[in-house]
Amino acid sequence: MNSSQSGAWGYFCAATAAACALLAAALIHSPARAQSAGILNSAPISATGGQQVYEQICQGCHMPDAKGAVGAGNYPALAGDRALASRQFMALTVLLGRRNMPAFSSKHGIGFGGPPTSLSYAQIAAVVNYVRSNFGNHFRDTITPEEVAALDQRKP
Ligand code: HEC
């Protein structure tokens, strides 16, 4: 490679780097804001399975074994949690939040001082069904995305 070639290549990189950075920023920002931004980091949540949603969002506070934690905050156990007998109670908790529990409905989701965080109704149904049938919970009934959506519509 002679010096004139490397000079031209260097110029090409410098000229396109700015355009590439703008394009990358646009690509990263639009889908992340449209549907979901992580509560604990800003990565988009594209998971569809209940287990993946749990691992990406819920376990940061409720812990991987769902036994909760006491320390900087008080995070209740979801393992063997009798309050989960009501699938509506659990879905509403995830949709609307509860005291220090953030809301994940796209209508209500507001992260802690960060960008809005939301999960789709399908993601909420999946994680509700996953938690209610794992971690020592044995509830047999399941919730559908349509039922989650209906619960969300009831609230302003
Ligand atoms: C930022 C921390 C945080 C995250 C993330 C979080 N929670 Fe919570 N969650 C809490 C806190 C704090 C409470 C207790 C709220 C209260 O004071 O009643 C709670 C309560 C709950 C309850 C009610 C439990 C009971 O017995 O009263 C359920 C159900 C629940 N969370 C499910 C979830 C699910 C599912 C996710 C993931 C989509 C999740 N949480 C993500 C902090 C969190």
79 and 137 within one domain: yes
43 and 29 within one domain: no
Assess contact for 10 and 1: CB atoms under 8 A.
Answer: no
Counting Cβ atoms within 10 Å, is residue 114 exposed (0-12), middle (13-18) or buried (19+)? middle
86 and 143 within one domain: yes
55 and 4 within one domain: no
Q: What is the CATH number of the domain that holds 92?
A: 1.10.760.10
Record the pTM.
Answer: 0.75
* Ligand 1 mutation pick, 48, 55, 61, 84, max ligand atoms within 8 A of CB: 61
User: How close is the Cα of 151 to the center of ligand 1, in Å?
Assistant: 18
Question: Which residues form the domain of 137?
Answer: 37-154
79 and 130 within one domain: yes
123 and 94 within one domain: yes
Q: Is the CB of 102 under 6 A from ligand 1?
A: yes
22 and 88 within one domain: no
60 and 17 within one domain: no
Tell me how far apart the alpha carbons of residues 93 and 55 are, in angstroms, rounded to a whole number: 18
pLDDT bin (cut points 50, 70, 90) of residue 28 is very low
Can you give the pLDDT at residue 22? 31
pLDDT bin (cut points 50, 70, 90) of residue 94 is very high
102 and 68 within one domain: yes
How many residues make up the chain in this entry?
156
Give how many domains the chain has, as a whole number.
Answer: 2
Instruction: Name the residue with the closest Cα to ligand 1, atom 26.
Output: 83
68 and 95 within one domain: yes
CA 53 to chain centre: 7
Alpha helix locations (H) across the chain? Answer: 3-34, 50-53, 59-62, 87-96, 121-132, 145-154
Can you give the pLDDT at residue 108? 66
Can you give the pLDDT at residue 15? 35
Which one has a higher pLDDT value, 144 or 72? Answer: 144
Flag the least confident range among 8-22, 122-136, 142-156: 8-22
87 and 11 within one domain: no
77 and 28 within one domain: no
pLDDT bin (cut points 50, 70, 90) of residue 116 is low
pLDDT in tens, 120-135: 999 999 999 999 999 9
